[in-house]
Amino acid sequence: MIHFVRHGETAPNREGLLLGRSDPPLTDRGREQADELAQLLADLEPVAVLTSPLGRARATAAPIAAAAGRAVEVDDRLVEIDYGEWDGRPLAELTADLVSRWRADADFAPPGGESLRMVGDRVAGFCEERLGREAVVAVSHVSPIKAAVAWALGVGDERAWRMRLEVASITRIAPGPVLVAFNQRLP
């Protein structure tokens, strides 16, 4: 089973900004969330703790790996979508027409950025390789985790827009693939 963990809170997450490849640190609350996730996931005895290369994911993965007695392994396929020129902007600044086009077309990419289909393809490869009977923790971001859910459900990548995924949440995919849990929040 893959236990996908969305990284802890950052200031841009709290402010509702598009946060792609820019890499702000976790807030104090984000670091607390990482510690809480570590306590929650330690009993799983994962065979691996994988993470996006971005610092906010690595900072979330480190206490999880320490609690599980594992090293953190970086997997570039877990990196957040590249918002290109839109990184750091509020979604509300984009025109309604532009957002509608983006949500309807999985091949649409922000200027200088990446499409949902591109994210879906790289995450599908990760899931196909890592999904097995043993527990794996994968610390990532909103778009790759929603892409994993779309893959597990066998739906188009654009369906990711219909999902809300909170920071420091857990989403679980079992062999099959089967979506076992989505957006589990810390107690």
- Told to judge if 7 belongs to the known catalytic residues of this protein, a careful annotator would answer yes
179: left (phi over 0), alpha (psi -120 to 50) or beta: beta
Alpha carbon distance 161, 158 (integer Å): 6
Alpha carbon distance 24, 12 (integer Å): 8
Alpha carbon distance 81, 141 (integer Å): 8
- Told to judge if 141 belongs to the known catalytic residues of this protein, a careful annotator would answer no
Q: Please compute, for residue 92, the number of CA atoms within 13 A of its CA located in the half-sphere on the CB side.
A: 3
Active-site position among 3, 7, 9, 141: 7
Active-site position among 3, 9, 80, 114: 80
- In which element (H, E) is residue 12 found? helix 11-15
Q: What residues are annotated to the active site?
A: 7, 80
